[in-house]
């Protein structure tokens, strides 16, 4: 089987590489020729564990190639995947211009039957729009070439995308007829050998499933964060509450960790898209709006705690920051809570030094001119030099068991602000450090821990 992947961003690159690993002949198409040359040499522009080695192996085996010419690969492909970006518009709705542009080009260059697969996260009804655009272009050419449009949303976690793709929990396929269902089942057979993971449903059902999944996960995070705010007011340790409710199998432990809010390219965008989709149909999206509002407030929750300990004027203070990426095992800083905090701290005059094992360069690009005001350091303990406090914003493994004695010896105010609740306060206190977490107000000072 031969397939074409249009778009070599996060989803397209992981999808193409993993299909190639299973012996499928893959051509990845993009308009960025400089990026294509880099990929053909085995270099990837993102940090995703295991992806680089997998890509290099499949390039050497000639199972994956890169091209800027869709027409060439389209004529030889059984399927073409649309995996381009769908950034949010100002009103929160998904920008489908790149998706429709690909559909237009498919219609302009299609010569024989093909299955068009929507892999990008797109609102309900997008497959119909793709089908309409292809048909429109075929009509202009006075051509009657059959094709099918399928919805096959991705469920990849950044930092674990290879594992998620190769050993999926489920494979959602929205298809309209048995012919295309059979083709998709053949494509995904290597990923579903132990038991049938494929779930066939209607095209619109599949489109909504992706949004519903991310909406539920974001809701769990915001729910737990709101519980954490309550815990602080009532003198309750939210970690005990989390463990207590997580032990209920109906609730579970996943996505129930309180902290400084979620970020990344999916949850924020998809929640806003759900708000937009509901509003467009005259439905008041009470839950989705609340999820978004809590998340925005949560990102600045630690600012109140920092100013509560150091004062409103931070011009004479230096804050050391561990973690810039929105989550560990990625260099993605889109809507990262760390950058929200850094911007707010700079406004208050603070000096900032920051460390992240992977995301320094992407953070610099995201911050723009503000990056010149941050001292980015390449070693996690060097960032503590002359710092008043430590702010932990990403739960990288190397931060989980740090040298607390070394930290205590460097921090002037001997305080750790833990935006991800990764430390046990009692352990921190043993080394003469104060601890401030999320939903853990009883551990806010050194004296209270002694």
Catalytic residues: 266
Q: How far is CA 324 from the centre of its chain?
A: 14
Distance CA 56, CA 17 (A): 9
Find out whether 393 and 338 touch, Cβ atoms under 8 Å: yes
Measure Cα distances from 203 to 158, 168, 209, 210, 306 in Å. 25, 20, 10, 12, 48
Task: Identify the residue whose tokens are 């609730």.
Answer: 251
Contacts (Cβ under 8 Å, ≥6 apart) of 129: 96, 99, 100, 103
Give the count of alpha carbons within 13 A of 361, CB side only.
6
Neighbour-count burial of 132, counting CB atoms closer than 10 A to its CB (0-12 exposed, 13-18 middle, 19+ buried): middle
Find out whether 275 and 267 touch, Cβ atoms under 8 Å: no
Find out whether 35 and 8 touch, Cβ atoms under 8 Å: yes
- Consecutive H or E run containing 139: helix 126-140
Find out whether 385 and 354 touch, Cβ atoms under 8 Å: no
Measure Cα distances from 134 to 46, 137, 139, 146, 304 in Å. 32, 5, 9, 10, 53
Q: What are phi and psi of 210, to 5 degrees?
A: -60, -50
Q: Considering only CA atoms, which of 169, 171, 179 is closest in space to residue 153?
A: 171
**Helix and strand numbers, DSSP H then E, in the chain:** 18, 14
- Pure H helices in 311-422: 337-347, 360-367, 404-410
- Return the SS3 of 235: coil
């Amino acid at each position: 089987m031969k397939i074409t992947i249009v778009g070599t961003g996060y989803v397209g690159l992981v999808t193409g590489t993993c299909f190639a690993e299973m012996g499928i002949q893959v051509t990845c198409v993009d308009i960025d020729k400089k990026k294509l040359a880099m990929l053909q040499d085995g270099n990837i522009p993102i940090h995703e564990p295991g992806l680089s080695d997998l890509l290099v192996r499949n390039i050497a085996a000639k199972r994956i190639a890169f091209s800027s010419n869709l027409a060439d690969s389209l004529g030889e492909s059984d399927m073409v995947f649309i995996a381009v970006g769908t950034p949010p518009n100002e009103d929160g709705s998904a920008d489908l211009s790149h998706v429709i542009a690909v559909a237009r080009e498919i219609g302009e260059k299609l010569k024989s039957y093909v299955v068009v697969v929507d892999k990008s996260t797109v609102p309900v009804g997008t497959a119909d729009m793709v089908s309409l655009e292809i048909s429109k272009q075929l009509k202009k050419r006075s051509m009657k070439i059959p094709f099918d449009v399928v919805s096959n949303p991705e469920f990849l976690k950044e930092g674990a995308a290879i594992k998620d793709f190769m050993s999926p929990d489920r494979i959602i396929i929205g298809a309209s007829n048995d012919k295309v269902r059979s083709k998709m089942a053949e494509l995904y057979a290597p990923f579903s050998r132990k038991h049938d993971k494929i779930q066939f449903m209607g095209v619109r059902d599949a489109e909504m499933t992706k949004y519903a999944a991310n909406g539920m996960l974001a809701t769990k995070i915001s729910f737990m964060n709101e519980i954490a705010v309550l815990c602080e007011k009532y003198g309750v340790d939210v970690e005990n509450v989390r463990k207590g409710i997580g032990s209920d199998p109906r609730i579970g432990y996943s996505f129930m960790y309180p902290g400084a809010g979620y970020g990344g390219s999916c949850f924020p965008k998809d929640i806003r898209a759900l708000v937009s989709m509901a509003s467009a149909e005259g439905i008041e999206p009470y839950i989705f709006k609340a999820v978004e509002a809590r998340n925005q407030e949560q990102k600045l929750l630690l600012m109140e705690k920092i100013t509560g300990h150091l004062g409103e004027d931070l011009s004479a203070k230096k804050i050391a920051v561990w973690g810039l990426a929105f989550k560990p095992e990625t260099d993605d800083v889109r809507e990262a809570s760390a950058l929200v905090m850094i911007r707010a701290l700079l406004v208050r005059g603070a000096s900032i030094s920051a460390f992240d094992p992977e995301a320094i360069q992407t953070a610099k690009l995201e911050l723009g001119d503000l990056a010149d005001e941050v001292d980015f350091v390449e070693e996690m303990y060097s960032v503590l030099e002359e710092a008043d406090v430590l702010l932990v914003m990403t739960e990288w493994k190397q931060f989980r068991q740090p040298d607390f004695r070394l930290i205590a010896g460097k921090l002037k105010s001997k305080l750790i602000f833990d935006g991800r609740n990764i430390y046990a306060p009692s352990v921190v206190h043993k080394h003469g450090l104060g601890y401030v977490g999320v939903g853990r107000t009883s551990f806010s000072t050194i004296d209270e821990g002694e």
